Amino acid sequence: MSPLEELRHSAAHVLATALQRLHPETKFDIGPPTASGFYYDIDCPKRLSTEDFAAIETEMARVIAADEPFERRVVGREEARAFFAERGQTFKIGRLDDIPPDEEITFYVNGDFTDLCAGSHVPSTGKIGAFKLLGVSGSYHRGDESQPQLQRIYGTAFPTAAELEAHLAALEEAARRDHRKLGAQLKLFRLDSGIGSGLPLLLPRGATIRAQLETMLSRKLEDYGYDRLYSPHIGAIDLYKTSGHYPYYAESMYQPIRIEEREFLLKPMNCPMHIQAYTAEPRSYRDLPQRYAEYGTVYRMEQSGELSGLVRVRGFTQDDGHVFCTPEQLKDEFKSCLRLVQEVMALFDLRTRCRVSLRDPDNLDKYVGDDSLWTPAEACIRAVVDELGLEHSVGLGEAAFYGPKLDFMALDALGRSWQLGTIQVDFSLPERFALEFTGSDNAKHRPVMIHRAVFGSVERFLGLLIEHYAGDFPLWLAPEQVRIVPITDAQLPAAEALLARCKGLRLRAAIDDSSDKMGAKIRKAELEKIPLTAILGKREVESGSVALRSRAKGDEGALATEKFLERLKSEAALPS
């Protein structure tokens, strides 16, 4: 463990110590460090809430002030079992059974608390700097819905109070930007139990943003030479057996559907469908590359505890693309896919980190195809990132089951990393489907397949943008670009005429003709994060102008109506 992980792991033990003193009947499961703090899963007779945190933190502070040493003890398996059985710690007994017979069993003891733990820890509780409990939620034992439901208490810890304060400030800002909160506030999407968990419904404003994203990307795809496809939402199970998704991807698929004695699957991936498009007619080397693109909705089985707003769902749309090319074209086509991803990310001022995702050499059973198919695929990716000097990390075990890939993690305004697009090189599926093209030598050859996505999941990308912009979308993306506000009913005809002109320019505008006072109307537009507000009073109507307010600059003064419309048309244009 790193020093910070050791500190946070130790803080989790301090949390458990405090809970044992305050609620002696508590049963403990695990309490690991995380990337941003720690948690402990417990079965407590009392349903805890944030209102209980003050008392728990006070007790934790006492444990830290006592500067109790963390003592490591090696114990026998039966001794450990007897210790936890006597105290009714059934979850610890289960975790004890997970330890291989040839591994050492260790306890860590501080004060009156003893935990089954491999370590490591800071020397004593007094070495834990500043800490804070952050939340509590339900969690299933071992992440399995058939197991008992526990309570998970989250916290964080840092060496100094200043570091903790900075982290809490970042969490506050993250909460302000939370796409689930803003999605409801701005009426962008709805997660409704009547539809089903993990199945988001985009409302008109959210659908407008998605349509803008798709239109922008569709224009780029045309420039990059892609043809559009539309594939069905279900497919015959045999198709996915051939591809290898079934059974390699079976845990993420829904149960087969039987129709007229044949089994079908809700589509988990679009690629087998696109392969069928390639095989629709014979191919020559002169036909390659073939580039297909689709906004294809797919369905994945996610555990309920893993669902989160738009970023982790059960039904989502991929901006999926597949390129079928000759081996000689592979490198240039891969570079083309890379340029496309970089161009799109730059439009949103998103910095990206890249990861070369490879096979796990110790677990090759997870993958289809032998070295003859994987080696040239990996070599292509490595050659491109080296040639372009692309900064990247390497992720062993992160490859797709059919091939290695270059994954893109976008950094938002808070510096948080989001898994988005991917470019995957695949020699395996063309082999499994026996794809062919006729070469210049009139012989049959095997094409190479590139799988690529820019947004990845359109829903996840929308969630990222909501948080990245904190709901303040650039004018071209904003679901409502301008709010027209007549001061009195006398200016309503002029407002309706201006609205008609905006609509004629395909601008997204609306009139606030409510009886609210002017200040309330302006405040409402600000809360709804409307980029521009055009105010019409008697003077503006007589002079053919608008009094313009923008979220970025506030009051911008009077602007001639023609100039206003020219500005709107220019700034609202889709980026190229």
Q: Which two tokens stand for residue 42?
A: 């417990």
Sheet architecture: strand order including 351-358: 227-228, 290-299, 315-325, 448-457, 417-426, 405-411, 351-358, 392-396
- Catalytic residue, chosen from 300, 359, 521, 549, is 300
Strand partners, 99: none
Q: Which two tokens stand for residue 297?
A: 């909705």
**Known active-site residue 339:** no
Strands 189-190 and 315-325, bridge-based pairing: unpaired
Strands 392-396 and 437-438, bridge-based pairing: unpaired
**Known active-site residue 300:** yes
| H-run or E-run covering 140 | strand 130-140
**Known active-site residue 405:** yes
Q: What's the full length of the chain, in residues?
A: 576
Residue 453 is given by DSSP the state E
Give the span between the Cα atoms of 368 and 402, in whole angstroms: 5
- For 322, phi and psi rounded to 5 degrees? -135, 135
- Catalytic residue, chosen from 92, 141, 322, 508, is 322
Cα maximum dimension of the chain: 92
Q: If 0-12 CB within 10 Å is exposed, 13-18 middle and 19+ buried, where does residue 123 land?
A: exposed
Q: If you search the block for the tokens 């006072």, which residue do you land on?
A: 517
Contacts of 392 (CB under 8 A, 6+ apart): 353, 354, 355, 356, 385, 406
CB 328, CB 447: distance < 8 Å: no
- Catalytic residue, chosen from 92, 245, 267, 451, is 451
CB 200, CB 459: distance < 8 Å: yes
Helical H segments across 403-511, by residue range: 428-432, 458-469, 492-504
Q: If 0-12 CB within 10 Å is exposed, 13-18 middle and 19+ buried, where does residue 446 land?
A: middle
Contacts of 518 (CB under 8 A, 6+ apart): 485, 487, 535
CB 450, CB 548: distance < 8 Å: no
523 phi-psi bin (left φ>0, alpha ψ -120 to 50, beta other): alpha
Give the number of other CB atoms < 10 A from CB of residue 250. Answer: 12
- Catalytic residue, chosen from 8, 9, 13, 405, is 405
204-223 vs 330-347: helix crossing angle, rounded to 10:
140
**Known active-site residue 23:** no
Helical H segments across 188-329, by residue range: 204-223, 237-243, 245-248, 271-278
Q: Which two tokens stand for residue 332?
A: 């240039």
- Catalytic residue, chosen from 318, 329, 424, 491, is 318
Strands 482-486 and 532-536, bridge-based pairing: parallel
134: nearest Cα among 116, 154, 164, 161 = 154
Give the span between the Cα atoms of 435 and 437, in whole angstroms: 7
Give the span between the Cα atoms of 479 and 21, in whole angstroms: 53
**Known active-site residue 331:** no
**Known active-site residue 92:** no
| H-run or E-run covering 81 | helix 77-86
**Known active-site residue 322:** yes
- Report, as residue numbers or ranges, the catalytic residues: 271, 300, 318, 320, 322, 405, 451
